[in-house]
Amino acid sequence: MPRSRRIVIAVFPDVDLLDVTGPAEVFALANRETGGRAGYDVQLAGPTGGAVTTSAGVRLLADLSFAEVGGGGARGGGGVIDTLLVPGAVDMLPEGPVARIDQDVVAWVKETAPGARRVASVCVGAHVLAAAGLLDGKRVTTHWSTAAQLAAEHPEVTVDADPIFVRSGRVWTGAGISACMDLALALVAEDLGEEVALTVARQLVMYLKRQGGQSQFSVPLSRPPASRRDIEELRTYIAEHLDADLSAGALAGRMALSERHFARVFRQETGTGPAAYVEAVRVEAARRLLESTDEPLERVAAASGFGSVETLHRALRKQIDTTPAAYRRRFRTAT
């Protein structure tokens, strides 16, 4: 008989819809692709059971109330929880999104989590885990828009807003929105192996199964849009011409500005200097090539604009504290 893996996903008013349905679809496809061998049994648990209205306005039907999860509720409530999955909800305030902390949900998670084999949060669900004391002393991630809130409210937690997901022992935390799929695929890979996870990713028509150490967003997206159109156009030029001369002098010449004035304007618009920005974009390009191709390091260095393997080594050491070969071994995704 296949092993049974009970997955309990918390649902509550205004929960993010994809945070619930995305992982559920991954687990369902894992069951299908393994002929049932995966044994995933997904249950939705809500404060009172029954209908729950999500942030998208779509209603979900909880299989169990929180009180029934550990007892003899519907659909076999009371079985051992393999994975407790906690999504989140946000309140949109004038200053931006703020993670909602429902104390009833926090109390239930705090009581339920010790009985689960592993616990995972999706997006701002990390705030719930933190409030329940499950993230103390751990490195975690969450949606980039509420990472500062999480760090400020829980100084005992090390918040890293960059990765797609982070594993710390039996506790996993995932980044925002669509990254819930990556987190769920990583859980499947832990249970059933990389090949099953990649098969599920193909069925989902996901471009690739991203690894946890990859960034939530690209370098251009991580900087605010420039107010000057010429700087935005220059950023596009940089991304499309990585092997060109992108020195501060050459870029200043393209904009017909003195190098000193250009450097000041670029920093004002992007929050960083030209040289640091170009290096970050080139490192991102190199990472993509290392993840998705078998190109020799000489070609990776040339294509990403570093010119030499030595320069590529130095840049990766500086930016992400690893070597090209080590990064490729960890994050290679092409089949």
* Domains, the chain, ordered by start: 5-203 (3.40.50.880), 219-331 (1.10.10.60)
Q: What token pair was written down for 259?
A: 């190098």
Res. 206 pLDDT band, cuts 50 70 90: low
Q: Give the Cα separation of 106 and 127 in Å (integer).
A: 9
What pLDDT is attached to residue 2?
60
First-to-last alpha carbon distance for the chain, in angstroms, is 31
Q: Give the Cα separation of 289 and 12 in Å (integer).
A: 41
Q: Which residue has the tokens 């900087």?
A: 223
pLDDT above 70 covers a percentage of the chain that reads: 89
Task: Tell me the catalytic residues.
Answer: 123
Task: Give residue-wise pLDDT tens across range 38-58.
Answer: 999 999 999 998 999 999 999
The torsion angle over the Cα atoms of residues 294, 296, 299 and 300, rounded to 10 degrees, is 60
Positive or negative: CA dihedral 280, 284, 286, 287:
positive
Q: Give the Cα separation of 112 and 12 in Å (integer).
A: 16
8 Å CB contact between 280 and 274: no
Q: Taking residues 22-39, report their average pLDDT.
A: 95
Task: Give residue-wise pLDDT tens across range 173-204.
Answer: 998 778 888 899 999 999 998 889 888 988 88
What pLDDT is attached to residue 44?
97
Q: What token pair was written down for 116?
A: 């689960």
pLDDT above 90 covers a percentage of the chain that reads: 63
Residue 35: strand, helix, or coil = coil
What pLDDT is attached to residue 332?
65
Higher pLDDT, 243 or 178: 243
Task: Give residue-wise pLDDT tens across range 262-271.
Answer: 999 999 888 8
8 Å CB contact between 180 and 122: yes
What pLDDT is attached to residue 74?
41
Where residue 149 falls (left for φ over 0; alpha for ψ -120 to 50; beta otherwise) is alpha
Q: Give the Cα separation of 140 and 129 in Å (integer).
A: 10
